[in-house]
Amino acid sequence: MTTLPWMLRRNLESSMKEFLLNQSVGNTLFYKGTDMVIDVRVGKSPQQNWKLPNVSIYMDTKTELRGFVGNNKRLPSYLMIVDIRALDDGMRSDLAEWVTDIINEGFDFYNYQPNQADPDNRLKTLLGKVSVEFITDTPINAGKDADQFDKYRHNISVSLTIAT
């Protein structure tokens, strides 16, 4: 029996997560006298081990537009959602601005494979660069009674195109 390899969408999520984690090293957010580390995750819904402030990413849809009129070549792009969750409005705004500045130039795209010798560290092969187009960038108003992960949330939608 063969193991199904990670497909393109999962590799995009992992590549973006790794990029954001690398960019967040040494960066903290100051909140009520404490430096807080940025928690970067893949997933749509908060899990028990997630912490605030948090950046979560997940793939949404795929489009395949024609390259140009009269051409059957398709240019696939992938919609990724970046949710920023914070402890207050100022932190939400700062973190959203940081994320948009960081991903604006794009990021490296890798193919990840299991590592038999060291299961905690996947093997990766550089496949290209991902360009980022911003679609939406908006705070989410979940109301006064929202839980801690939705009270100060910001949603960024981006279209990703892979250049190999």
pLDDT at 151 over 70: yes
Q: What is the pLDDT of residue 119?
A: 81
Residue 2 belongs to some domain of the structure: no
d(CA 161, CA 164): 10
Residue 3 belongs to some domain of the structure: no
pLDDT category of residue 23 using cuts at 50, 70 and 90? very high
Q: Which domain holds residue 128?
A: 8-163
Query: Distance between alpha carbon 152 and the CA centroid of its chain, in Å?
Result: 18
Q: What is the pLDDT of residue 68?
A: 58
pLDDT at 3 over 70: no
Q: What is the pLDDT of residue 26?
A: 86
Residue 63 belongs to some domain of the structure: yes
On the question of a cis peptide bond just before residue 53, with omega within 30 degrees of 0, the verdict is: yes
pLDDT digits (tens, 9 = 90+) for 75-87: 678 999 999 999 9
Q: Return the CATH number at 132.
A: 3.30.2000.10
Of the chain, the percentage scoring pLDDT greater than 90 comes to 56
Residue 45 belongs to some domain of the structure: yes
Residue 23 belongs to some domain of the structure: yes
Residue 90 belongs to some domain of the structure: yes
d(CA 8, CA 146): 34
Residue 125 belongs to some domain of the structure: yes
Q: What is the pLDDT of residue 79?
A: 93
pLDDT digits (tens, 9 = 90+) for 94-132: 999 999 999 999 999 999 988 888 888 888 999 999 999
Residue 85 belongs to some domain of the structure: yes
Report the SS3 class of residue 123: strand
Q: Phi first, then psi: give them for residue 118, nearest 5 degrees.
A: -140, 85
Q: How many CB atoms lie within 10 A of CB 77?
A: 18
Q: What is the pLDDT of residue 141?
A: 86
DSSP 61-113: EEEEEESSTT---EEEEEEEEEEEE-SSHHHHHHHHHHHHHHHTT-EEEEEEE
**Number of domains observed in the structure of the chain:** 1
pLDDT digits (tens, 9 = 90+) for 58-77: 998 866 665 556 666 666 78
